[in-house]
């Protein structure tokens, strides 16, 4: 049986959209709407009267459960490992690129193209992995004084961009 909410639809839709825009899971949206619904039933009032603007209220409430200390530590560890992988990928890509630009036949015993491709795959995979994991690979998880900053989210992609800048510098200096 489908739950019939007491929350009026014209308030419900913008509220749910505000939650979804912040990355709330369907379960989190259902739980938040359930709390609003219970309050409306308990107070015998409309959601607008109790909570005001649905978009503003949707931006105020938490969209995910806080992590435990262990989960936050794992999140920071994943972020650190992905950053290190990105830097290793950048090193391999630039090593291979330098070998390719200078027409070297071997770099560290292998064709420079192999190092270049391997490095790019590692750097991009680390950035994609960090993006996909989201808050589960985050340097700031578990810290009360810091939210997820833009730099924290962009760090793996900055490493990819630095790889491209490094390639340009190598080409300009050796090409």
What pLDDT digit, counting tens, does each position of 57-111 carry? 888 887 766 667 888 888 889 999 999 999 999 999 999 999 999 999 999 999 9
Question: Binning pLDDT at 50, 70 and 90, where does residue 1 land?
Answer: very low
More confident residue, 146 or 169: 169
Question: Would the pLDDT of 157 be above 60?
Answer: yes
Mean pLDDT of the chain: 85
Which of 96, 107, 98, 87 is CA-nearest to residue 172? 98
Among 10-19, 132-141, 158-167, name the one with the lowest average pLDDT: 132-141
Q: Quick one: pLDDT at residue 88?
A: 97
Among 38-42, 47-51, 132-136, 143-147, name the one with the lowest average pLDDT: 143-147
C-alpha–C-alpha distance, residues 80 and 90, integer Å = 15
Among 57-66, 112-121, 153-162, name the one with the lowest average pLDDT: 57-66
The β-bridge partners of 110 are 107
The DSSP letter of residue 44 is: T
Ordered by start, the domain boundaries in the chain are 9-60, 69-174
Question: Binning pLDDT at 50, 70 and 90, where does residue 141 land?
Answer: low
| Mean pLDDT, residues 130-135 | 83
- To the nearest 10 degrees (0 to 180), the angle between helices 150-174 and 69-101 is 10
Q: Quick one: pLDDT at residue 167?
A: 95
Has this prediction a pTM greater than 0.75? no
DSSP string, 97-156: HHHHHTT-S-BTTB-HHHHHHHHHHHHHHHHHHHHHHGGGS-TTTT-TT----HHHHHHH
């Amino acid at each position: 049986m489908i739950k019939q909410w007491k929350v009026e639809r014209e308030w419900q839709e913008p509220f749910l959209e505000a939650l979804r825009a912040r990355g709330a899971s369907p379960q989190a949206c259902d739980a938040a709407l359930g709390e609003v619904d219970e309050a409306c039933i308990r107070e015998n009032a409309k959601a607008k009267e109790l909570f005001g603007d649905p978009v503003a209220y949707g931006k105020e409430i938490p969209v995910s459960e806080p992590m435990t200390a262990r989960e936050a530590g794992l999140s920071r560890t994943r972020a650190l490992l992905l950053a290190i992988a990105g830097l290793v990928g950048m090193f391999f890509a630039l090593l291979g690129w330098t070998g390719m630009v200078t027409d070297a036949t071997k770099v560290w015993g292998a064709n420079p193209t192999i190092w270049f491709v391997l490095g790019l795959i590692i750097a991009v995979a680390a950035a994609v992995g960090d993006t996909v994991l989201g808050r589960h690979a985050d340097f700031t998880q578990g810290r009360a004084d810091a939210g997820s900053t833009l730099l924290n989210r962009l760090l793996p992609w900055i490493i990819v961009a630095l790889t491209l800048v490094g390639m340009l510098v190598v080409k300009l200096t050796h090409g």
